Structure 1
C-alpha cells in the first residue's frame, strides 16, 4: 500500500484485450470508499511496454503506465485477450509479456479473468493449485497444464495470493469478493449497489454452459428462494421448500439445480453463511445468537460450517473484519 494506506492495483492490458473485462477492476475497486469517502484502492492500467494495445472491440487503448506499474502493485489483475480464445499455442509466453510479469514483486496478489489463466499457468503459478477459467477452454486448459486442479464449475477460485475467475461477469464477482475479503461485507455490498450488480451470485458456471433448451415451463423456484431468504433462522426442510413451490421433491430439486446451479441444501447453507458473516461484521451479538439468527441453531454448528467453507472460526472472522472498519 502507499503512504495513505490505499491498496495499489495494476491492471495489465495485453494485446487483444477484451474491453469489457479491462474496465471491471477500475469500476469495482474504484467505487470502494472508507467511512470518510476516501478511496480504498488506487487502480492503474499498464501495458507490457507502455505502448497502446488493440482491444477486441475495434479500438486501441493507450495506457498511462508501462511495466514499472507492476513493481509497485499490491494486486495485479490480468484481463483476458482474444488471442487465447482457443487456448494457447505451446506453454510459453511471448518474451515481452514474460519480462513484464517478471517485474512483479514477491507477495503481490495476482488475479486472472477468464482465459488469462493461461498466463498464470505458463508462469507456473498454478502448478499443484486449484484454479478455474472459462468453461469453453477448460478442457484444453486442463490438457495443456495437467498439474493444475481445474474446477470448471465455479465462478472463481481464491487460493490466497493467486485468484482465478471464469468468464466475463465472473470478474465482477471476484473483484467484489476481494473487496469483501479486504474490507468486509458492508463495503462490498455498497460497491455492488453502486455498480447495480448482486453482491454475490448463486451457483457456478454450470448454469451458463450451453445445453439443449428445455421444454417451456412457467414453474420456477424464484418465489420459493425469496420466501426462504426471509426465514433463514427457521429449520427449513427440502419438503417444506418443495411444498411452497407446489412441486414434487424430485421436480423441485431438479428445477432448483437447473436455475441456481446448486442443490437446495447447499444454496441454503450458503445464504445462511452470508447472513452470519454480515451479523459478525456489523454487530456485537454473541456467536450463539448469530448462529440462531442465521439458521444454524447452535454456535458449534456455525463454527463447523465456517471452518469448512472459510477456514476460520466466527471469532477469528469477527476480529479480522472488525479491525478493517
Structure 2
C-alpha cells in the first residue's frame, strides 16, 4: 500500500503482470459538517491497510474528499476546519460517491452543484451512497424516487413529507437498491461502509476491516439487515460475562444453554440473565443465535459445504431452524445470501 493511497490519491496496483486501477470513492464535505460520518468514510476507504496483504483479489480503494470549492477551509462541528483537495468534477467522476450529510436538512437547501454532480455520477454508472441526512441530497437529485430509502430517525418524517415519491423506512440500518444505497444516522454509516466492502471484496476482507475498526461484535435487533461476524475477541482476564461469551464463541457448534453459560461465568442463572442483558442489550440465547448466523456468513460465501452442513457446523439443530433464524435476522435466506455474496459459488 503506497503512501499516495494512504493519503487519498488513487494509484495503480499491480495484480500479476497487469496494472489495475483502484476503485475511487469520493466523499462530499461541506461547511458546518459533523466530522464523525466523514471520519467513518475516511477510516474505511482511505486508510492504508497492510493487514489485507494476501487477502485482496482486486485493488483497494482510492479516496477523494471533495467540496464545492476545493482548497477553501471548511468549518466542522467542534471548532476545527478541513480543506478538501478535490472539487465536484472529481466527485462526479468517482466509482462510488458518498454523501455524509447536507448543511441543514430542515432548511431544505441542497447545494445545486452537488445535485448536478450526483446526477452526472449516477448517469455514468457510479454507485451513490448516503449516510444520515445525506439522503436529502440523493432525494433532491431524484435518485430515490419510487425507491425504498432510510435516514436518521430524526429526519425520516421530514424526508417523507418533502419527497413523497420516496418510500422512507425509518426502521432499518440501511437500504440497498443496487446502484443507490442509504443508511440511518452516524453509526449505521459504519454498517453500510462495511457492507460495501463485503460486497466488493468478500467476508474475510470485510471482517478484517471491522476488526481493525473495533466495532461491536454484533448488531442485533429488528433494524439489522446484515450482521458482521463477531470480530472482537473477548480477553480471558475480563469479567465472568465476558469469559462466558468468549467460551461460547469457541464452542458455537456445541449445544449451548443459559445454565451452561452461567456456569462458565461462575454465576447463578438468574443473576447471569440479568447481568448479560444489561451488558449486551439482548438475551444470552438471542446473542448466541446472532453469533451462529455471523459465523455462517463466511461459510456461505465459500463454495464448500451445503446449507445443511453449514447449519450443523455453527450449532443449529437443523437446517430448518437455521433458515428460520437466518431469515428473521438477515431478511433473506441462506441460499439467497450465498448467491449474492458467494465467491466461486455456482
Q: TM-score range by the shorter chain?
A: 0.7 to 0.9
Aligned residues: 306
* Alignment match of 2:116 (pick from 87, 99, 104): 99
From the superposition, tell whether residues 322 and 34 of structure 1 become closer, same or farther in structure 2 (CA, over 3 Å).
Answer: farther
From the superposition, tell whether residues 14 and 39 of structure 1 become closer, same or farther in structure 2 (CA, over 3 Å).
Answer: same
Partner of 2:157: 139
Q: Secondary structure at the match of 2:44?
A: helix
Q: Comparing 10-19 with 99-108, which one deviates more in the overlay?
A: 99-108
Shift of 1:75: 0.9
* Alignment match of 1:156 (pick from 174, 188, 197): 174
Shift of 1:134: 2.1
Shift of 1:161: 2.1
CA RMSD across the alignment = 4.0
Shift of 1:298: 3.8
Deviations 1:31-60 (A, max 9, x none): 454527785111111113435233223333
Deviations 1:153-197 (A, max 9, x none): 433333322222222232222211211121112111211222333
Structure 1, unaligned runs of 5 or more: 207-219
Q: Which has the higher contact order (CA 8 A, sep 6+)?
A: 1
Partner of 2:215: 197
> Structure 1: how far apart are the matches of 2:286 and 2:159?
28
Contact 1:17 1:56 in 2 (8 A): yes
Shift of 1:275: 0.9
Partner of 1:214: none
Shift of 1:119: 1.4
The 5-angstrom pairing of residues 153-302 of structure 1 reads 153-198=171-216, 200-203=218-221, 228-234=248-254, 246=268, 256=277, 260=280, 267-281=287-301, 284-299=304-319, 302=322
From the superposition, tell whether residues 254 and 59 of structure 1 become closer, same or farther in structure 2 (CA, over 3 Å).
Answer: closer
Shift of 1:302: 4.4
Partner of 2:234: none
> Structure 2: how far apart are the matches of 1:316 and 1:65?
37
Contact 2:70 2:86 in 1 (8 A): yes
Contact 2:218 2:290 in 1 (8 A): no
Partner of 2:79: 58
Contact 2:27 2:100 in 1 (8 A): yes
Shift of 1:254: 12
TM, length-normalised to structure 1: 0.74
From the superposition, tell whether residues 261 and 113 of structure 1 become closer, same or farther in structure 2 (CA, over 3 Å).
Answer: farther
> Structure 2: how far apart are the matches of 1:61 and 1:316?
40
Partner of 2:343: 322
